[in-house]
Chains A and B, each alone.
Chain A
Amino acid sequence: MLKLLRKYPILSYYANKLFAYVLTIFGALTITFFMFRLIPSNPIENWIKSLERQYSVSIEGGDAMINSYKEKFGMTGTLWQQYTRYMYNVIFNLDLGPSFINFPTPVEDLLAAAIPWTVALMTVSILIAWVLGLLIGATAAWFRESAISDVITNVSITLSQVPSYLVALFLVLFLGYQWKLLPTRGAFDAQYAIGLNWNFIRSVAKHSMLPALSIIIVSLAGWILSTRSLVISNMGEDYLMYAEAKGLKPRDIMVRYALRNAMLPQATGLALTMGSMMSGQLLIEMMFVYPGLGQVMSRAIAIFDYNAMMGIIILSVVSVMTASLLVDLALPVIDPRVRTAIKA
């Protein structure tokens, strides 16, 4: 096998990318697992205590109940046994263990219910932000002398670092309360039946407008800035000056040379951002009571439910790594330079 790898550098490039992919995911999960477990507080005691406080009664058989729950949750045995058992379940039979939020349902179902919402919201907003960002960024770069491009740049600089929930605050205040244009809570009107009927979709769209907008505004600013500086540095390259010397129309030069060379890095950027959407915008979803992964995460954190939290983190780590793996695998095919560089 090694001889084969040595002989064909492309294979060894893919092999070592795959190895790094698996190792990083495994490492990340281990770190998170131990981080949670080492922290003193434990979900079951919290739950029992919260029950006692709620009904102001002390439960005698409390510790027996605690042990049985611990057993069910795989919290028994030494830390190492818990770890191996958990990993075995996750890897081999994809069982993330029971969630604590609504007890019997396993974490997988919990996530399965939340994933479509987050994916829908995030994909739409990321794509809109990316496309708009590319267009505005490129034009701002091409007409960099004009005042508007300075205005656009400074505005996007200001907006790019502002956290999306602060933007959400403003949107909720003005669009939501002040002018009552858009609903500010929930994902759809309760009165419509869930299904592919028209007004359900319309109401979902209306409800997700505000959260989507707050995500779009911030990431749009980010894309504008990155495209602008990419295109500007491309404009300084010799091949652009050479294209001008060939007497090509400015518009052709921008599209065929400046933008084309900026497409590749921005495409990889899009893939990586798509990968990171799984971690969801926790605060946005909490603020808008949007039933996505962030919502599940916030409820899990509130009562420190190990399994649910681990489930979501596994999901986002895997999706981020898969996105970057796909980019690494696709790169040699798309970019001829990488294909040659690999063999060096």
Chain B
Amino acid sequence: MLNFIASCWRTSGKFKFGVTVLALLVLIALVAPLIYRPIIGTSSPSRPGVFPRWQPPSSTNPLGTDGHGRDLLTDYLAGLRMTLYIGFLAGVIATSVGVSVGFLSGYQGGWLDSILLTITNMLIVIPSYPILVALAMVTPEMNVTTMSLILALFSWPFSARTIRAQVMTMKERPYVELAKVSGQRDLSIIFTEILPNLMPYLLMGFAFSVVGAMVAEVGIEAIGLGPSNIITLGLMINYANGWGVYSMGRMEILLIPVGVLVVIFAAITMINRGMEEYLNPRLQKVTTES
């Protein structure tokens, strides 16, 4: 895995750009508490009414305050932190479910493969967004984990399908035959022979499901159906829309969350494109092998 990332870094500019930007954002998200602690003291970032409402940017609130009397900078930092967290959590759940299903049906084949394949196809065909919105609206207590679970519910079939296709091709490779002939059992063949070569596709599947989860999450929040007790960038967009920031001449309240989201999506997609370029030599300009 590591040398795959290293060689991607060497060959593709897109990958370099994507990784640096994403690393920067994750760093900011991790460091966020240190930044907003001095501003709002020990209270939780989502507590309203800490500051007077609609203050212009000032020394205490670098970006001013919002309609609920919360410091805007804290909102955005906490929002970024939460969106990334939900996105990655949903990505991990979706990919792990997708990989196990993909592996099982890809390697096993036969009737198990056809059953799992039909189930995956069924889930892919259902339009996920309306169902997500309905589910989000109705789940009693909405917190981060339930949110990620719902988001992962509809994105695992996509990674399941790609992983299954990859496993089917990997299964025919000669080195699997060599392993069989050297007395390796099926299970160890899956984990030692096939899984490592599948790593690049896992990463790409993971990146896709993270982006997919974030898009869906922002989609739910933007129409106000998400949990209101956790601040995410999507929620900020919804509030900004609600307050009609445009008419108040405070455009940046809306532009900042949208801008940050666009940067997150662009970074992850750049990483994906970079990996794809490395995997498909024709897309490269310089060959890696001599």
Contacts and interface: CB of A to CB of B under 8 A. Distances in A.
Interface string B23-39: 00000000000000000
B7 interface: no
A41 to B, nearest CB: 5
A176 to B, nearest CB: 9
Interface residues of chain B: helix, strand, loop or mixed (majority): helix
B86 interface: no
Contacts of A105: none
Contact of B130 (A154, A158, A232, A279): A279
B266 interface: yes
B261 A166 contact: yes
A90 to B, nearest CB: 16
Contacts of A304: 134, 137-138
B270 interface: yes
A190 interface: no
Contact of A27 (B119, B219, B261, B262): B119
Q: Contact size class for B?
A: 35 or more
Interface in B267-283: 268-270, 273, 276, 280, 282-283
Interface stretch (A70-78, A122-130, A197-205, A316-324): A316-324
Interface string A161-182: 1110110011001000100000
B127 A313 contact: yes
Given A35-B131, A312-B130, A158 B269 contact: yes
A79 interface: no
B20 interface: no
Given A40-B138, A283-B222, A301-B130, A28 B276 contact: no
A94 interface: no
A282 interface: yes
Given A28-B122, A31-B126, A36-B134, A157 B14 contact: yes
Interface in B232-290: 237, 241, 246, 251, 254, 258, 261-262, 265-266, 268-270, 273, 276, 280, 282-283
A68 to B, nearest CB: 24
B246 A161 contact: no
A301 B133 contact: yes
A121 interface: no
B223 A283 contact: yes
Contacts of B131: 32, 35, 313
Contacts of B135: 35, 39
A236 B273 CA distance: 18
B94 interface: no
Interface string A224-239: 0100010011011000
A286 interface: yes
Contacts of A166: 218, 237, 258, 261-262
B211 interface: yes
B283 A233 contact: yes
Nearest to A36: B134
B130 A282 contact: yes
Interface residues of chain A: helix, strand, loop or mixed (majority): helix
B125 interface: yes
Contacts of B121: 20, 24
Contact of B219 (A154, A165, A169): A165
Interface string B133-162: 111011010000000000000000000000
User: Which residue among B119, B130, B133, B269 has the maximum number of chain A CB atoms within 10 Å of its CB?
Assistant: B130
A173 B119 contact: no
A12 to B, nearest CB: 15
A161 B125 contact: no
Interface in A20-50: 20, 23-25, 27-28, 31-32, 35-36, 39-41
B254 to A, nearest CB: 7
B265 A161 contact: yes
B282 A235 contact: yes
Contacts of A149: none
A160 B126 contact: no
Contact of A233 (B130, B137, B254, B282): B282
A309 interface: yes
Nearest to A306: B134
A161 B211 contact: yes
Across the A-B interface, give the 9 residue pairs with the lowest CB-CB distance, nearest first: A279-B127, A236-B282, A158-B266, A27-B122, A161-B265, A28-B122, A161-B269, A163-B215, A316-B127
24 contacts: A20-B118, A24-B122, A28-B122, A28-B125, A28-B126, A39-B138, A154-B270, A157-B266, A158-B262, A162-B262, A162-B265, A162-B266, A163-B218, A166-B237, A166-B258, A225-B273, A229-B280, A297-B130, A298-B223, A301-B133, A304-B134, A304-B138, A317-B126, A320-B125
Interface of A: 20, 23-25, 27-28, 31-32, 35-36, 39-41, 154, 157-158, 160-163, 165-166, 169-170, 173, 177, 225, 229, 232-233, 235-236, 276, 278-279, 282-283, 286, 297-298, 301, 304, 309, 312-313, 316-317, 320-321
Given A23-B118, A278-B127, 18 more contacts: A20-B121, A25-B125, A27-B119, A36-B134, A41-B138, A158-B262, A158-B266, A158-B269, A161-B265, A162-B262, A163-B219, A166-B262, A177-B246, A232-B282, A235-B282, A283-B223, A309-B130, A313-B127
Interface of B: 14, 118-119, 121-123, 125-127, 129-131, 133-135, 137-138, 140, 211, 215, 218-219, 222-223, 237, 241, 246, 251, 254, 258, 261-262, 265-266, 268-270, 273, 276, 280, 282-283
